[in-house]
Amino acid sequence: MGEQGDTVAPGGPKAWGGRFATTPDVRLEAFNASVGFDVRLVREDIRGSVAHVRMLGRQGIVPPSEAAAIEGGLWHVWDEVEAGAFAPTVADEDVHTAVERRLRELVGPVAGKLHTARSRNDQVATDLRLWTKGALLALLGGVLDLSEALLDVATAHEEVAMPGYTHLQRAQPVLLAHHLLAYVAMLERDADRLRDAYRRVDRSPLGSGALAGVTFPIDRERVAADLGFAGITVNSLDAVADRDFVLDTLHACALIALHLSRLSEELVLWASAEFRFAEPADAFATGSSIMPQKKNPDVAELARGKTGRVIGHLVAMLVVAKGLPLAYNKDLQEDKEGLFDAVDTVLAVLDVLPPLLRTTRFDRGRLGAAAEADFALATDAADLLARRGLPFREAHETVGRLVARCLADGKTFADLTVEEWASVHPIFAEERPPLTAPESVAARDVPGGTAPPRVRAAHAAAAADLAAVRDWLQGEEAVLAAVLRPPASRAPVADEPAPA
């Protein structure tokens, strides 16, 4: 999708000025075509053209009556898209040519005036930015839905203790709610990244032309406002060559997918016989073709596996963009398939994880028992000695020897007698450390800690933040929906092709 006369196919109706004497090789036509995937931009393309031709009419660049006829034809094409009757072909090369070809069939040669003061380069950049705005809002909605599901599950298990891990070894007890809120914190950063990407993509490049601006008295700001953009791009060269907004979106998708993969990995582990902390509902699990006893956490496994593809799309686009001279190059046609697939993939995972989480059954008893097993309360014992004046390193060593002794004797801390505690250190003769997970988590009453009051406060703060972001999202969705909506009344266009 290059600028006019640069990368359009030679010969035929797309020759743009007759520069080429022969028709394109059929292999070039197939290799060059992007209409098979960029047809997803058809609504954005039509709407961008509507804004452009309205401006042309207002500025007197095109007679207002002709601008009105072109706009009517564009809305007719929109109706065909909505009805499933719009049928682009490989011969159209790209969605922009397909729309213009159909427009010419409807309104005749006047359709050729639509491309006045515009290049394919600023046209496609506008279309893709407009589409990306919608994609970012959809992704943000999915992130909020998952965050709310995590908050709901946390509320239902707010007093349940579980082992926290480092190196995948039981470390210290935490609340299950605290563990789930860690993923809410990750998703809050994802939401912030999406909003930041939205802020940067929200600029209209239309009017930049092929690379240097245009020679007509256009009104770029009016077009930007018509399309719901917050402003215009500031440099025509950068405007047509920039795909940072694609990379922003892919980066956000990659990090969302990474976070979802980490959550999925834990769900897979927790569903295993080795953990038995959680069991997915039958509706979100699969069986084995040969082993009748199996209940596989396939949803979480697929979410984990799809992350590789999303990260791959980010890397691919970085490599495409890294060596491109200004301004437009045909390489940038590679910006769409990976973007579309990354967005689709992340949205699919964000759609299925909330109901999976809400229907997963957590084994409270097993989680609680595991929170106290394998000397997960050892740090509490060392902390007690340190609070009573021992240097922490000495306290650490003392409790380490106690753990070794218990392992040798086949005992736990709970099995030790008063005398055995006193033999470890005199302080333990007077006071013993927490011996239950609830006591341990309650002691960690610091901001960001796992004590129940801190977890409840963090839960309330996260819920308030999500509500504020949801309000912002709904406002932006309403703006974009109004842009991508036909006017209530418009002039009819004949169904029969206009005379040539």
Which are the catalytic amino acids? Answer: 167, 288
Strand partners, 166: 169
Q: Which of 44, 74, 472 is nearest to 228 (CA)?
A: 44
3-class state of residue 402 by DSSP: helix
Q: What share of the chain is helix, strand, coil (3-state, %, to 5)?
A: 65, 5, 30
Total Cβ atoms within 10 A of residue 130: 26
Kindly report whether the peptide bond that precedes residue 327 is cis, defined as omega within 30 degrees of 0: yes
Query: In angstroms, rounded to a whole number, what is the distance separating the alpha carbons of residues 334 and 301?
Result: 29
Q: Which residues are within 8 A (CB) of 233 and not within 5 positions of it... i.e. 6 or more apart?
A: 203, 204, 205, 208, 239, 242
CA atoms of 238 and 157, how far apart (whole Å): 51
Three-state DSSP class for residue 475 = helix
* DSSP character string of 280-306: --GGG-B--SS-TT--B-HHHHHHHHH
Contact 121, 240 (CB under 8 A): yes
What is the rounded CA–CA span in Å between residue 174 and residue 394?
A: 25
Q: Encode burial over 188-219: b for 16+ CB neighbours within 10 A, e otherwise.
A: bebbebbbebbeebbbbbbbbbbbebbebebb
- The pair of structure tokens assigned to 64 is 């207002």
d(CA 175, CA 383): 19
Q: Report the C-alpha gap between 347 and 303 in whole angstroms.
A: 11
Q: Determine how many CB atoms are found less than 10 A away from the CB of residue 451.
A: 18
C-beta of residue 359 within 8 angstroms of C-beta of residue 154: no
